[in-house]
């Protein structure tokens, strides 16, 4: 049984500094992996647009994620075999504070995503991961199916595996 008491909510402007602390806790190599999406100004913009959610453990931000309901052009202009059409939400990224990595916070986040999608009548959740990313296994264990690959040309032509979960 978990000793954690997780809850989630939309991020507020006053959460920005603590959100940046969660990112700092993960280390520089982690932020290099995600690039410009993790710059303070970008996260502030995501917060203003109601795309950031924080997961609290009691009153401390243990993790945050960005969920985007806008269409992702890379997903539309590709040879990916999506099982559903619009509307869909994209899990752009998530960051978990080091001390919670081995907790059940990822599963909690998956439940939050499903609840959100059902409440807003979203037909599926989509995301993409870098080749070799260990998160692939966690996504599959939580009902995500591999849908194909995309190549991001502005990111060193990196290949990304796309996943979808019907909600």
Per-residue pLDDT reduced to its tens digit, 52-105: 999 999 889 999 999 998 877 777 767 788 898 889 999 988 889 999 988 999
- Centre a 10 Å sphere on the Cβ of residue 143 and count the other Cβ atoms it contains: 14
* All domains in the chain, ordered by first residue: 6-166 (3.40.630.30)
pTM recorded for the entire structure: 0.86
Helix (H) or strand (E) holding 30: helix 28-34
How confident is residue 156, by pLDDT bands cut at 50, 70 and 90?
low
Task: Determine the Cα–Cα distance for residues 155 and 152; give it in Å rounded to an integer.
Answer: 5
């Amino acid at each position: 049984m978990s000793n954690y008491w997780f809850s989630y909510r939309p991020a507020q402007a006053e959460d920005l500094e603590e959100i940046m602390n969660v990112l700092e806790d993960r280390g520089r190599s982690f932020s290099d992996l995600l690039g410009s999406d993790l710059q303070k100004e970008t996260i502030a913009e995501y917060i203003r647009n109601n795309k950031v959610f924080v997961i609290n453990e009691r009153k401390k931000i243990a993790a945050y994620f960005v969920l985007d309901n806008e269409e992702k052009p890379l997903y539309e202009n590709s040879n990916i075999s999506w099982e559903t059409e619009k509307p869909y939400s994209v899990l752009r990224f998530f960051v978990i504070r080091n001390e919670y990595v081995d907790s059940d916070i990822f599963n909690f986040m998956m439940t939050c995503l499903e609840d959100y999608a059902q409440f807003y009548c979203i037909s599926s959740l989509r995301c993409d991961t870098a080749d070799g990313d260990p998160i692939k296994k966690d996504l599959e264990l939580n009902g995500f199916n591999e849908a194909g690959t995309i190549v991001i040309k502005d990111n060193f032509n990196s290949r990304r595996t796309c996943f979808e979960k019907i909600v």
